[in-house]
Amino acid sequence: MAISPKARPYLLVLVLVLVATGIVVATLPGEKQQARPTTAESTAPPVVDAEGGDGAGDEYYPQDGNTGYDVSGYDVSITYDPATRQLEGVTKITAKATADLSRFNLDLYALKVTAVDVREKPAATYLQEGDHELVVTPAAPLVNGEEFTTTVRYGGEPTVFQDRALGRSGWQISSSGGAFAAGEPHSATTWFPANDTPRDKASFSLTARVPEGWSVISNGVEEGATTADGWTSFRWVAEQPMATYLTTIAIDKWTVERSTLPDGTPVVDAYAPGAQDGRRHQERLPEVLAFLSEKFGPYPFRSAGGIFLADNIGFSLETQTRPIYAGWADLDTVVHENAHQWFGNSVSLENWADICLNECFASYAQWLWDEAKEGVDLDDRYRAEVEGARDSFWRRKLYDMGRGNEFKGVYDKGQLALHALRHRVGDDVFNRAIKDWTTANRDGNASWPEFEAHVEQASGQDLDAFFAAWFRGDEIPEDEHLYPGSLRR
């Protein structure tokens, strides 16, 4: 979705005056002044005008995320009433400063902030700017390397991001009157403040309080529910690092089924009223994960499952450990979204230009499944699709495709490209390179150019021309790249 530019330049001069009773913080006229601590927060020298950046630097979404700190964990607590659609939230963010900071930014969309604490003390000031920036000035500057907490209180009616190219994402109302949060590249900041960039992965925990009769499904491992005074609180914890857009909350009158994988990994599957047809696909989840583990390496998370909506939204999404499925989802979709647990979730992209690392591999996993389980001859399928492709098919780049074009070629041209790569380097190299890639980058971030270098090293071949033709180009590859190895007639 479009990110509005700053409404105006922002300049804050922070002057620390040490007096006998504590610290006095001066702000520009008109700035919101919060309660001040009465004792010094740091013995480090004052930091003047050391501002965290209001964007993480992605070329497509330059104002997504922020710089100056690294988040290690989110602890989100919300109360939500489906009858009024009002949300009240408290989010505690644990982070480490990566620079001296007199102020820093968080991302929060369309909800009103009512209080901010830093180091468990009221912030000197906080301002909401533009459509998603929360600018926080702590009572005393943060020092590079300092671990700190920020607690934000906020509320209102959460909403969605609207984007002409990418559609709706964020907090959505389900047909039952419940709600769910899902979307890519944005979603999380419609319901909690965050450093909204995939580059800053963090653990995530949620306590969600809803009226009795409703229930809550989220990421990770469930840690129980308690009911009092007509309200029920649900607790979910995901300890392994997660990109913010992969978090989810789903509120409905769920039918919940619990099981375990053969290795004891807990599985939680939730079906909205009217979505029970998803069971026949989800029953094969243990088989799907076992197959994908053979191809990509051990399953990378400590829990699994799925969230099945009755709503026919325009996408299903690989929300970490527990994908969220639209009403139209089929077995291919289950394979695709669970392949993302390796490609996209465990190994996350560095920039949105790298989206083929997520979608090309998840889409090719569907081909691999058909090959292994249905006996499909992928070489025949490949040749038929190449021969039937129009010129417009080839004009979609798979790497650095431009903002708004991220999802135009990766689901079909991406499958062909990876099948051609498999023939170019051979099955043994291809399979080993994929497993080594997911192992080396587990719980981290990576880029498409790094993957190209990885495969070149694994194969011992110069693949620059091949990658240029298939992934960086927007024309049909020349025959030497279009029909490599045994694909040649």
Where are the chain's structural domains? Answer: 48-158+192-242, 352-481
pLDDT digits (tens, 9 = 90+) for 382-427: 999 999 999 999 999 999 999 999 999 999 999 999 999 999 999 9
- Count the helices and strands in the chain (H runs, E runs): 11, 24
Separation between Cα atoms, residue 326 and residue 172, nearest integer Å:
13
Q: What is the pLDDT of residue 167?
A: 74
Enter the pTM of the model.
Answer: 0.89
Encode burial over 26-51: b for 16+ CB neighbours within 10 A, e otherwise.
ebeeebeebebbeeebbeeebbeebb
Dist CA 360 CA 377 (whole Å): 19
How many residues does the structure list for the chain? 489
Percent of the chain with pLDDT over 90: 85
Residue 296 tokens, joined: 């990509």
Burial class (CB in 10 A: 0-12, 13-18, 19+), 171: buried
In this prediction, residue 49 carries a pLDDT of 58
Neighbours of 329 (CB within 10 A): 24
**Mean of pLDDT values over 419-446:** 98
Q: What is the pLDDT of residues 70-111, one digit of tens each?
A: 999 999 999 999 999 999 999 999 999 999 999 999 999 999
Q: Which of 61, 17, 8 shows the shortest CA–CA distance to 40?
A: 17
User: Which pLDDT score is estimated for 488?
Assistant: 85
Which CATH number is 352-481 given? 1.10.390.10
Determine how many CB atoms are found less than 10 A away from the CB of residue 402: 12
Report the percent of the chain where pLDDT is more than 70.
89
Residue 111: the pLDDT is 98
Q: pLDDT band at residue 165, thresholds of 50, 70 and 90?
A: low
CATH code linked to domain 48-158+192-242: 2.60.40.1730
